[in-house]
Chain A
Amino acid sequence: MKLTDRDRAIYEWQIWVNDFGESGQQKLKDSTALVTRVGGLGGPLAQSLAAAGLGKLILAHGGNTKDSDLNRQILQTHEQVGKPRIDSCRRRLMELNPRIDIEACGENVTEENVRRLVSGADLVFDCAPLFEERLLLNRECVRQKKPLVDAAMFEMEGQLTTIIPGQTPCLACLYPEIPPGWKREFPVLGAVSATMANLAALEGLKLLAGFGELLTSKLLIFNARSMDFRKISIAPRPGCPVCSACPPCADQELF
């Protein structure tokens, strides 16, 4: 659907961004992104995507809001405690930008729904706390050759990479096993998860609009204690059971 005059007025400040412009805005309007778990990471991420005018967001997150969500899950409210998280996500994003389309799924990623969720998206954001979910999503993105922006945090640190199947290492190259000792609940400041969320949103917006440099085959590491950003090179793991058989994506226009 073509940009309208109202779109041009709403997104004026970002249309002024060099290399983005009206064509970038049009690409966002024509795009669909999947955000899996819309919590401390996925919530602020979805907020930035919605404000930027993505055409459609698919949100997947199960369960009810808890007290312990409220320090970082900024799409949740105190009144929402005990009620489904996904309802608050949809409601607050629609308040922020009623011009976008939102498909809200009140489930986390599972073997049963992952194929359908990924197939509806041009780009996927992995914001889940459990490696079972993260690696499942990664496998499906590689299978469907969908780009995956993978953001993570712990305590006062965060990391981010963009996975393009056939071109970059995949998540299973970095994590060939479910890490022992990893727990779903862990220490983090909400401002750290929101920082990583917005860095991930930037990656996604650049990828969809086709400008700037991406964190492909790079891992950005952020240390909020020292305010250091570090970018390291990462390589495919030889014999990775997920992506080593994935051929280069000659037909893929995205970078």
Chain B
Amino acid sequence: MKITVQFLGQARQLSSIDQVTLHVEEGASVDELIPHLLTKSPDGLDVILCERSEDKKPQLRRSVMAIRNNETIDPSTRDLLKDGDELSLLPPMAGG
């Protein structure tokens, strides 16, 4: 399925791009998108967006919001993303 991943906040600044398009297997979770994403994006994004699970697989940092159709979704759950979806990744921001 085709998923357009949109970068927000710090991810947008680090990547210098607004979005990338990924082609992944049907039913993939957000976490399962992450290895594909890393091959298409600058190194700095790794620290902001990714952490390693207990089995060392890269997954979305739990402080980064995964937003599909104006709702946050659980990054570890499969079958939430559908072909043609736009997924926004929103790292934390603060005051100052």
List A residues at the B interface (Cβ < 8 Å).
Answer: 37, 39-42, 126-131, 134, 151-155, 157-159, 174-177, 179-182, 184-188, 193, 219, 221, 223, 230-235
Give complex CA distance A193, B16 in Å. 21
Which of chain B's residues have a CB closer than 8 A to the CB of A41? Answer: 95-96
Q: Are B13's CB and A151's CB within 8 A?
A: no
Known: A179-B61, A179-B63, A180-B47. A152 touches B94 (CB 8 A): yes
- Identify which of B21-29, B30-38, B66-74, B77-85 touches chain A: B66-74
- Can you list 23 A-B pairs, Cβ within 8 angstroms, ordered by A? A40-B96, A41-B96, A42-B95, A129-B94, A131-B92, A154-B9, A154-B10, A154-B94, A159-B90, A176-B62, A176-B63, A179-B48, A179-B92, A180-B47, A180-B48, A181-B47, A182-B92, A219-B65, A219-B72, A223-B8, A231-B70, A232-B65, A233-B71
Shortest beta-carbon distance from B35 to chain A in Å? 19
Which of chain B's residues have a CB closer than 8 A to the CB of A42? Answer: 95
Does B58 lie at the interface of the complex (its beta carbon under 8 Å from any beta carbon of A)?
no
Chain B residue nearest to A130 (CB atoms) is B94
Partner of A39, one of B10, B13, B70, B95: B95
Known: A157-B8, A179-B63, A181-B48. A128 touches B94 (CB 8 A): yes
Partner of A134, one of B9, B10, B90, B94: B94
How many residues on the B side are at the interface (Cβ–Cβ under 8 A)?
A: 22
B37-50 interface code vs A (CB 8 A; 1 in, 0 out):
00000000001100
Q: Are A154's CB and B13's CB within 8 A?
A: yes
Which of chain A's residues have a CB closer than 8 A to the CB of B90? Answer: 159, 221
Q: Are A186's CB and B96's CB within 8 A?
A: yes
Q: Are B95's CB and A185's CB within 8 A?
A: no
Shortest beta-carbon distance from A97 to chain B in Å? 23
Shortest beta-carbon distance from B52 to chain A in Å? 12
Give complex CA distance A127, B96 in Å. 7
Q: Which 5 A-B pairs have the closest CB atoms?
A: A129-B96, A127-B95, A154-B93, A41-B95, A152-B93
Which of chain B's residues have a CB closer than 8 A to the CB of A181? Answer: 10, 47-48
Chain B residue nearest to A151 (CB atoms) is B95
Which of chain A's residues have a CB closer than 8 A to the CB of B94? Answer: 128-131, 134, 152-154, 182, 186
Give complex CA distance A232, B72 in Å. 7
Q: Are A40's CB and B95's CB within 8 A?
A: yes
Give complex CA distance A164, B54 in Å. 34
Shortest beta-carbon distance from B74 to chain A in Å? 9
Give complex CA distance A134, B47 in Å. 21
Q: Are B95's CB and A126's CB within 8 A?
A: yes
Chain B residue nearest to A40 (CB atoms) is B96
Chain B residue nearest to A197 (CB atoms) is B95
Q: Are B63's CB and A188's CB within 8 A?
A: no
Which of chain B's residues have a CB closer than 8 A to the CB of A186? Answer: 10, 94, 96
Known: A221-B8, A233-B72, A234-B72. A155 touches B13 (CB 8 A): yes
Which of chain B's residues have a CB closer than 8 A to the CB of A221? Answer: 8, 90
Which of chain B's residues have a CB closer than 8 A to the CB of A231? Answer: 70
Q: Are A175's CB and B63's CB within 8 A?
A: yes
Shortest beta-carbon distance from A154 to chain B in Å? 4
